Amino acid sequence: MTAYLDHGATTPLRPAVFAAMEPWLTEQFGNPSGSHAFARRAKQAVEESRDVMAEVLGCRPAEVIFTSGGTEADNLAVLGARGKGTVVCSAIEHDAVLAATRSVEHRIAAATRAGTIDLDSLAGVLDDSVTVVSIMLVNNEVGTVQPLADVADLLSSKAPNAVLHTDAVAAFPWLDVATAAGCASLVSVTAHKFGGPKGVGALVARDVTLAARQLGGGQERGVRSGTLNVAGIIGMATAARITADTRPATARRVARLRDRLADGLIESVPGCTETAKRIEQVPGNCHVRFDGIENEALLFLLDEAGICASAGSACASGAMEPSHVLTAMGLSNAEALSSIRFTLGHTTTEDEVDLALKALPDAVARLRKA
């Protein structure tokens, strides 16, 4: 038996999504940019998917831009909306936002020990030279929901020329993004975090003119050229529809499993500390550290026991790097390197949680003894 507790990395494809995609990977192979019957069918399916995405994201269909995933959506938002101005983001953004931000004139706002943006620090770096502010809706590592409405308020008073972008990639499985990100002009999501396929995402762009990052045939109203990933887009819309429809029930069910996992770990493993307050986290996130162990070694033992979890982020070689999020929150290097992330999702079962609860006390004890 295995326990897949790494939904933050990616989620299993929903069977209904696979079924919806299959015709578009086989007999319905048309390019939606064409004019014949095959093309028209593909075009219609893409536009119906765009309607679904608009509905679940709370925008008009014309405001949805299909991308290759979260990273491209983040880059297009941050760099496409910047013009010649300064970009501001938080120190706990995903690398897709951080790296794009750092590539241009920028300022980075600090984070709090609680794992949220420090609004005072943000206020301090805003002025009328700022054209994009990018603050994620939910942190992908520690699961904390960010005070996006407060950020939007700060923008209107301190950065009148800025648009607000939010990376909602980690939020979509758990929050009604249409409402929670309603104050943002730009919103990124990616399908594989909510039971859709990898390699497809979307950017909402409301009342923002974006400079294209990828030039060519002029698809997506000239903002994102390239033949559309028809099956992927249909898969994403199908997954988004199911996720939105089942979100409250899933959130309740998974929150109970997360509590079972977190409570069980604290009870059975001495020196186990939760990184963030559960009330501020999305239901699927259990982020803890075990005093005196190295997460790299613990992940090895968990992997052997059939338990998939993660820590920090893996670099190009596959090695674990100390998490910039935890460091920005003020954790020491040793604390960051003893931290581990379990992320639960729509397929997580009580048996999986119990397998982890069974394996962890022994694994941690073994590493501490060595």
Partner 1 sequence: MRVMCAMSGGVDSSVAAAMLLEEGHDVTGVTLKLWGGASDSGCCSVSDVEDARRVAQQLGIAHHVFNFGEDFDRDVVDLYVSEHAASRTPNPCIECNRSIKFARLLERARALGFEALATGHHATVVTDSTGHLRVGRGADMQKDQSYVLHMLEQSQLVSTMFPVGSITKAEVRRRAGARGLRTAQKAESQEVCFIAGGSAGRRAFLGDRIGLTPSRVVDTAGNELGRVPARELVTLGQRRGLAVGGAGEPRYVVDIDAAGDTITVGRPEDLLADTTPLGTVTWSADPLVGGTPVLVQTSAHGHPASAVFRENAVSWDDARPRVAPGQSVVFYDSTNQFVLGGAPAA
Which residues are marked as active site? 315
Residue 279 touches partner 1, criterion: CB under 8 A: no
Candidate list 47, 95, 296, 362; residue touching partner 1; CB under 8 A:
296
Site for partner 1, residues 55 to 114, rule: CB under 8 A: none
Q: How many secondary structure helices (H) and strands (E) does the chain include?
A: 12, 14
Instruction: Choose between 1 and 319: whose C-beta lies nearer to partner 1.
Output: 319
Residue 362 touches partner 1, criterion: CB under 8 A: no
Return the residue matching tokens 């308020």: 153
Return the residue matching tokens 């923008």: 155
Extended beta strands in the chain, E state: 3-4, 64-67, 86-90, 106-109, 130-134, 163-167, 186-190, 201-205, 272-274, 285-290, 307-308, 313-314, 320-321, 339-343
Instruction: Choose between 205 and 309: whose C-beta lies nearer to partner 1.
Output: 309
Instruction: Choose between 215 and 314: whose C-beta lies nearer to partner 1.
Output: 314
| CA dist., res. 135 & res. 162, Å (int) | 12
Least spacing, CB of residue 322 vs partner 1, in Å: 8
Candidate list 255, 297, 359, 365; residue touching partner 1; CB under 8 A:
297
Candidate list 301, 305, 359, 365; residue touching partner 1; CB under 8 A:
301
Residue 1 touches partner 1, criterion: CB under 8 A: no
Residue 305 touches partner 1, criterion: CB under 8 A: no
- Let me know if 26 is exposed, middle or buried by CB neighbors in 10 A (0-12, 13-18, 19+): exposed
Least spacing, CB of residue 291 vs partner 1, in Å: 16
State the Cα torsion 63-67-73-76 to the nearest 10°.
Answer: -80
Residue 40 CB contacts under 8 Å (≥ 6 apart), including other chains? 30
Least spacing, CB of residue 330 vs partner 1, in Å: 19
| CA dist., res. 196 & res. 232, Å (int) | 8
Least spacing, CB of residue 358 vs partner 1, in Å: 17
Stretch that binds partner 1, among 87-95, 234-242, 278-286, 317-325 (CB under 8 A): 317-325
Candidate list 1, 37, 279, 370; residue touching partner 1; CB under 8 A:
370
What are the b/e assignments for 238-266, b being 16+ CB within 10 Å?
Answer: bbbbbbbeebeebbebbbebbebbbebbe
Candidate list 102, 300, 330, 351; residue touching partner 1; CB under 8 A:
300
State the Cα torsion 55-345-146-322 to the nearest 10°.
Answer: -140
Instruction: Choose between 55 and 294: whose C-beta lies nearer to partner 1.
Output: 294
* CB distance 91 to 108 below 8 Å: yes
Residue 316 touches partner 1, criterion: CB under 8 A: yes
Least spacing, CB of residue 319 vs partner 1, in Å: 3
Candidate list 1, 37, 279, 319; residue touching partner 1; CB under 8 A:
319
Instruction: Choose between 22 and 294: whose C-beta lies nearer to partner 1.
Output: 294
Task: Copy the structure tokens of residue 106.
Answer: 């920028």
Candidate list 54, 168, 191, 367; residue touching partner 1; CB under 8 A:
367
The DSSP symbol for 56 reads H
Least spacing, CB of residue 119 vs partner 1, in Å: 33
Q: How far apart are the first and last CA of the chain?
A: 27
Candidate list 23, 58, 317, 358; residue touching partner 1; CB under 8 A:
317
Least spacing, CB of residue 370 vs partner 1, in Å: 3
Q: How far is CA 57 from the centre of its chain?
A: 14
Residue 321 touches partner 1, criterion: CB under 8 A: yes
Stretch that binds partner 1, among 96-104, 229-237, 255-263, 311-319 (CB under 8 A): 311-319
Task: Copy the structure tokens of residue 138.
Answer: 């939910």
Residue 320 touches partner 1, criterion: CB under 8 A: yes
Name the site residues for partner 1 (rule: CB under 8 A): 294, 296-297, 300-301, 303, 315-321, 333, 366-367, 370
